[in-house]
């Protein structure tokens, strides 16, 4: 396959892909007076429209994507992205709506925001949501800030946040940005939070416990009530990372079980597309005691219609210019409206069914560090294959040759050589079986012909890429500006 060049490499003087209508106002050169102007944009491409279309179309064809491929990425919930949701998010009245438009002219938009807030409250058992965070990580930051503001208001600012050793990196990172010290809490032999350890570590200097439930091993923290009790008894709060909500919708509500604040990932549980790395959305839900601190504006329904309320004296402030990733929010709302209560519950049930089917079929073929029952995902490791010199990254790359996207790798940190598998509820049995078969074949190859696995992938657009020299000698842009 011919390597697709960079757009700059096919650019040349004289080509154009775009024309504006002629200037219709009287042109006045003096309007440019006093403006610091640039001579040109050096190196900027000049190509024709067909060149743009071919370039990007061919590039797109080198991507795996959900529309073509199974993505068993643990913790990512790569479910199918319904197409009708794309359509409703592109309706002109939403697409061309200006964020500074007067409230009374955008009642439809405010209705979208209030509706999804109400539905997310019902789904999670929380009492209010902010839709402003642009992603899960930003949602976590908001969650930490809410806790911080609440405790400071009570004259009890604390310095520490407890984070399980199985947690996603954004957890301690978000805590840190908020000025907290992240203290690790160890998992027990079941892979869940060690209660004795928690009792010891939960002091009056701990602001919160960040918990993922089910945790990153796919295991439900069944002691959640006791955990919340221990934390609350010392005046702390429970923050739940809702990344794994796909296992719980319609079966369990975090708000009923002592969680004070939760973030959700609309691009996970609620089916909005990942887009190659965003945009997502990370709404944050809270219980009543945290409502005053939510980012402003909040959406309220009054007698005359919906309003944005900016008058929130205790608010932590804004985390974004406007109201969140609005088009992403529309897609998630459409998803909730399409599925309804029964559809959402079925989502969790089949997500867990698919995952346990995979787990049962691969048990013994790959090592499972924890034998605890799991919900929508489980974490295998490369322990058995390592005996032949084959590591998790090799297994991942070999899966590509079988036409599957690899599972999540090397996470959580408590499972060395981890392979985290989450099929989601939208996969068919046929595709699951193809994956199982591929994994079994690779396990055999690891024993009999390990070199084939270690040098994978063989059939992809590019072979295994050298990430070491990319980091040692970073080349982060095309450098040919001088000639062009």
Partner 1 sequence: MSYISLSHEDKKKMLAVIGISSLDELFCCIPEEIRLKRDLNLPSPLVEPELIHHFEEIGKRNSDSSYLSFLGAGAYRHFIPYVVDYLSSRGEFISPYTPYQPEVSQGTLQVIFEYQTLICQLTEMEIANASLYEGASAAAEAVLMAHRLRGNPKILVANTLHPQYKSVIQTYVKNLPIEIKEVNYNERGELDLDDFARKIDAETSAVVCQSPNFMGIVENLDRIAELARKHQALFIVVVAEAASLGILKAPGACGADIVAGEGQSFGLPLSFGGPYLGFMACKKDFIRQFPGRIAGETKDAEGRKGFVLTLSTREQHIRREKATSNICSNQAWCGLRATIFLETLGRKGMRELAYQNIQKANYALEKLSEINGVKRRFSGPVFNEFVLEFAGGWPKVEGFLRQNGVLGGLSLEPFFPELKNCALFCVTEMHKKDNIDRLVRLVGEVLR
Partner 2 sequence: MYPRDFYYSKDHEWVKLEGDTATVGITDFAQKQLGDVVYVELPAIGTRLGVHQTIGVVESVKAVSDVYSPISGEVIAVNEELNNSPEMLNQDPHAKGWIIRMKVNDKAEIEKLMNSVDYEKYLEGIES
Q: Is 33 in the site for partner 1 (CB under 8 A)?
A: yes
Residue position matching structure tokens 């994978």: 456
Among 245, 426, 435, 439, binds partner 1 (CB under 8 A): 426
Q: Report the nearest approach of partner 1 to the CB of residue 356 (Å).
A: 5
Name the one range near partner 1 by CB under 8 A: 72-80, 196-204, 234-242, 442-450: 72-80
User: Which range in 57-65, 195-203, 384-392, 443-451 contacts partner 1 by CB under 8 A?
Assistant: 57-65
Q: Name the binder of 234 from partner 1, partner 2, none, CB < 5-8 A by kind.
A: none
Q: Is 340 left (phi over 0), alpha (psi -120 to 50) or beta?
A: left
- Are 375 and 218 spatial neighbours (Cβ–Cβ below 8 Å)? yes
Among 24, 28, 472, 476, binds partner 2 (CB under 8 A): 472
Question: How far apart are the C-alpha atoms of 470 and 411, rounded to whole Å?
Answer: 22
Q: Where are the beta strands (DSSP E) in 328-448?
A: 367-368, 378-381, 408-409, 418-421
Provide the b/e sequence for 262-294 (b: ≥16 CB within 10 Å): bbbbbbbbbbbbbeeeebbbbbbbbbeebbbbb
Number of residues forming the site for partner 2 (CB under 8 A): 5
Q: Per CB under 8 A, does 461 bind partner 1?
A: yes
Cα 261 to Cα 284, 293, 329: the distances in Å are: 7, 12, 19
Out of partner 2, partner 1, none, what residue 308 binds, judged by CB under 5 to 8 A for its kind, is: none
Choosing from 468, 475, 482, 483, the residue that interacts with partner 2 (CB under 8 A) is 468
Alpha-carbon distance values, 151 to 81, 145, 228, 250, 258 (Å) = 40, 10, 17, 32, 17
Over the window 361 to 380, marking each residue x when it contacts partner 1 by CB under 8 A and - when it does not, the resulting string is x----------xx-x-----
Considering only residues 196 to 225 of the shown chain, the ones binding partner 1 according to CB under 8 A are 219-220, 222, 224-225
Residue 359, burial from CB neighbour count under 10 angstroms (0-12, 13-18, 19+): buried
b/e string for 366-376 if b means 16 or more Cβ within 10 A?
bbbbbebebbb
Kindly tell me which residue out of 153, 256, 300, 387 binds partner 1, with binding defined by CB under 8 A.
256
Tell me if 151 contacts partner 1 by CB under 8 A.
no
Under rule CB under 8 A, residue 38 binds partner 1? yes
Is the Cβ of residue 361 or residue 410 nearer to partner 2 in the bound state?
A: 410
The answer to whether 422 and 77 have CB atoms below 8 angstroms apart is yes
User: Least distance in Å: CB of 189 to partner 2?
Assistant: 18
Q: How far is the CB of 364 from partner 1 (least distance, A)?
A: 13
Stretch that binds partner 1, among 9-17, 193-201, 283-291, 445-453 (CB under 8 A): 9-17
When asked if residue 467 is in the footprint of partner 2 (CB under 8 A), the reply is yes
Q: Please state, as a whole number, how many other Cβ atoms lie within 10 Å of the Cβ of residue 10.
A: 17
State which of residues 178, 211, 238, 261 lies at the interface with partner 1 (CB under 8 A): 178
Q: Which residue's CB is nearer to partner 1, number 153 or number 387?
A: 153
Q: Which of 72, 70, 68 is nearest to 362 (CA)?
A: 72
Nearer Cβ to partner 2, position 195 or 465?
A: 465
Least spacing, CB of residue 75 vs partner 2, in Å: 17
Distance of closest approach, residue 396 Cβ to partner 2, in angstroms: 13
Site string for partner 1, 265-294 (x = CB under 8 A): --x---x-xxxxxxxx--------------
Long-range contacts, stretch 364-370, CB < 8 angstroms, 24+ apart = 365/439, 365/440, 365/443, 366/419, 366/439, 366/443, 369/191, 369/415, 370/189, 370/190, 370/191, 370/217, 370/219, 370/415
Span interacting with partner 1, options 195-203, 322-330, 381-389, 440-448, rule CB under 8 A: 322-330
Q: How far is the CB of 115 from partner 1 (least distance, A)?
A: 8
Q: Which partner, partner 2, partner 1, none, binds residue 92 by CB below 5 to 8 Å per kind? A: partner 1
What torsion, rounded to 10 degrees, do the Cα atoms 201, 142, 233, 215 define?
A: -60
Letters for 403-422 (x = contact with partner 2 by CB under 8 A, - = none) are: -------x------------
**Residues ≥6 apart with Cβ < 8 Å to 390:** 382, 446, 450, 453, 454
**339 binds partner 1 per the rule CB under 8 A:** yes
- State the nearest-atom distance from the C-beta of 349 to partner 1, in Å: 5
Phi, psi angle pair for 128, to nearest 5°: -160, 155
Q: Is 471 in the site for partner 2 (CB under 8 A)?
A: yes
d(CA 379, CA 369): 8
Q: Please report which residue ranges of 236-380 form alpha helices under DSSP H.
A: 326-362
Part in contact with partner 2 (CB under 8 A); list of ranges 117-125, 253-261, 305-313, 466-474: 466-474
Query: Helix (H, G, I), strand (E, B), or coil: what is residue 202?
Result: coil
| Shortest reach from residue 183's CB to partner 2, in Å | 16
Judged by the rule CB under 8 A, the positions of this chain that interact with partner 2 are 410, 467-468, 471-472
């Amino acid at each position: 396959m011919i390597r697709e060049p960079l757009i700059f490499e096919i650019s040349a003087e004289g080509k154009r892909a775009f024309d504006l209508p002629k200037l219709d106002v009287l042109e006045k050169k003096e309007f440019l007076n006093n403006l610091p102007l640039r001579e040109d944009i050096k190196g900027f491409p000049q190509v024709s429209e067909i060149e743009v279309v071919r370039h990007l179309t061919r590039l797109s064809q080198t991507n795996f994507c959900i529309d073509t491929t199974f993505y068993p990425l643990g913790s990512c919930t790569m479910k199918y992205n319904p197409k009708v949701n794309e359509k409703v998010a592109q309706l002109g009245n939403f697409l061309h709506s200006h964020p500074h438009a007067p409230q009374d002219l955008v009642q439809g938009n405010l209705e979208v925001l209030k509706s999804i807030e109400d539905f997310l409250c019902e789904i999670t058992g929380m009492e209010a949501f902010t839709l402003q965070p642009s992603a899960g990580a930003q949602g976590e930051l908001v969650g930490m800030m809410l806790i911080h503001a609440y405790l400071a208001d009570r004259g009890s600012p604390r310095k520490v946040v407890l984070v399980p050793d199985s947690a996603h990196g954004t957890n301690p990172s978000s805590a840190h940005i908020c000025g907290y010290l992240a203290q690790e809490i160890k998992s027990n032999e079941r892979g869940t939070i060690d209660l004795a350890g928690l009792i010891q570590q939960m002091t009056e200097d701990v602001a919160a416990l960040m918990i993922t439930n089910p945790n990153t091993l796919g295991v439900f923290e069944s002691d959640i009530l006791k955990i919340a009790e221990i934390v609350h008894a010392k005046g702390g709060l429970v923050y739940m990372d809702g990344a794994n909500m796909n296992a719980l919708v319609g079966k369990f509500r975090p708000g009923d079980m002592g969680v004070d604040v939760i973030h959700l990932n609309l691009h996970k549980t609620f089916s909005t597309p990942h887009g190659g790395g965003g945009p997502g959305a990370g709404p944050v839900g809270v219980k009543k005691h945290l409502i005053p601190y939510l980012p402003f504006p909040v959406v309220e329904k009054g007698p005359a219609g919906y309003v944005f309320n900016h008058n929130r004296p205790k608010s932590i402030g804004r985390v974004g210019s406007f109201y969140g990733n609005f088009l992403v929010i529309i897609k998630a709302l459409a998803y909730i409206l399409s599925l309804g209560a029964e559809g959402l519950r079925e989502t969790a049930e089949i997500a867990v069914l698919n995952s346990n089917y995979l787990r049962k079929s691969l048990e013994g073929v790959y090592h499972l560090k924890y034998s605890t029952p799991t919900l929508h995902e489980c974490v295998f490791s490369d322990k058995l294959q390592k005996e032949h010199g084959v590591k998790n990254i090799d297994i991942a790359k070999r899966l590509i040759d079988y036409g599957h996207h690899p599972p999540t790798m090397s996470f959580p940190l408590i499972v060395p050589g981890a392979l985290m598998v989450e099929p989601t509820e939208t996969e068919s049995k046929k595709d699951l079986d193809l994956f199982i078969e591929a994994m079994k074949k690779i396990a055999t190859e690891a024993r009999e012909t390990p070199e084939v696995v270690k040098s994978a992938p063989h059939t992809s657009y590019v072979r295994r890429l050298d990430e070491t020299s990319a980091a040692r000698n970073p080349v982060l842009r095309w450098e040919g500006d001088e000639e062009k």
